[in-house]
Amino acid sequence: MQKTIKIILTATLIVLMVFSFSEHRYIYGLESEPEPSLSMPVEYVNYTVAWVNGSLWAKIDGYYPIYNSGFDLLPMAYPTPPGTTNIAIRLDGVEIPWSNYTGIYPEDLHHTGIGDWPVIYAILSNVSDFFVLEIHYEHPIQVINSSYMFLYDLNIAPYLSPSANTSIAHFAVTMDVNFTDLNVQTVALDESLHPIYYTVTNGYPSTISVQMVSEYGRSSLGDLLFSFKTETNSEQVPWMDWLVVTAVAMLSTAAIIFLLYSRSKKAKQRQGLS
């Protein structure tokens, strides 16, 4: 499956719409009419990275304000990382149903720089000239070459045009975990890696902030890849620390009780002999 994005119009739908408009102008001699289009000048993607039952998970909330010109019905395909759960899609605040597209067509996977992803599918109906799409999902973070990695699939090209020539994606990643060796890079179509500017706040939890600016007529920046390492021994299984401390305390208490009992018994024996 070719690169998909948060909202992808199927090629068939685009061709049919463009053909319909061009044919209408030709037959009736109408002046040029604007073709259906979408634009998204800005989008916001918030991550929270935290331990869940001994594994690192990412929780994602995407907020997409979209301007619509000419479309009433929009098919939507959305790639999801392996193991994704708790998926919720909202159109103007109202949750809408979705289906597992890859579950129906197992061969249709979405290729990324860190593996092939399944795809979910939904229909946005009766969309207005401006609408807000929100998507929530959660997934375990992959371990690749001894580092934790997660990727955001960004392909903004269908939302760019001469009249809407810029789109800015704002990323805020809350790291509720102690981490080291952080790298933030873009992944081009040829899967080459390129560093991108980011900031990290002090304190705990810290927040990683990234902005990706996409411009019409310029090469795509690609997807966004985060990689880092963490001290798994102390954070991944904190219940083990509690278990060890509890066991040591219990053994120490038992040893003290046994020692006191032994001393008391010996004292009584000496009194009996005397």
User: What pLDDT is attached to residue 97?
Assistant: 98
Token digits of residue 194 = 């390129």
- Measured CA to CA, the distance from residue 211 to residue 195 in angstroms comes to 12
Reply yes or no on whether the pLDDT at 136 is more than 80.
yes
CA distance 219 to 138: 30
Alpha-helix residue ranges (DSSP H) falling in the chain: 11-28, 101-104, 232-235, 238-273
Q: CA 20, CA 144: separation in Å to the nearest integer? A: 47
What is the residue extent of each domain of the chain?
11-232, 237-274
Instruction: Indicate the average pLDDT of the chain.
Output: 82
Closest CA to 227 of 170, 142, 169: 142
Helix (H, G, I), strand (E, B) or coil at 61: strand
Residues 193, 84, 87, 183, CA torsion sign: negative
- For 3-29, the pLDDT digits (tens) are 444 444 333 333 333 333 333 333 344
Residue 264: what are its φ and ψ, rounded to 5°?
-65, -40
Tens of pLDDT, residue by residue over 229-267, are 997 534 444 444 444 334 434 545 555 554 445 555 555
Question: Tell me, which fold does domain 11-232 have in CATH?
Answer: Immunoglobulin-like (2.60.40)
pLDDT tens per residue across span 178-237: 999 999 999 998 899 999 999 999 999 999 999 999 999 998 899 999 999 997 534 444
pTM of the model: 0.75
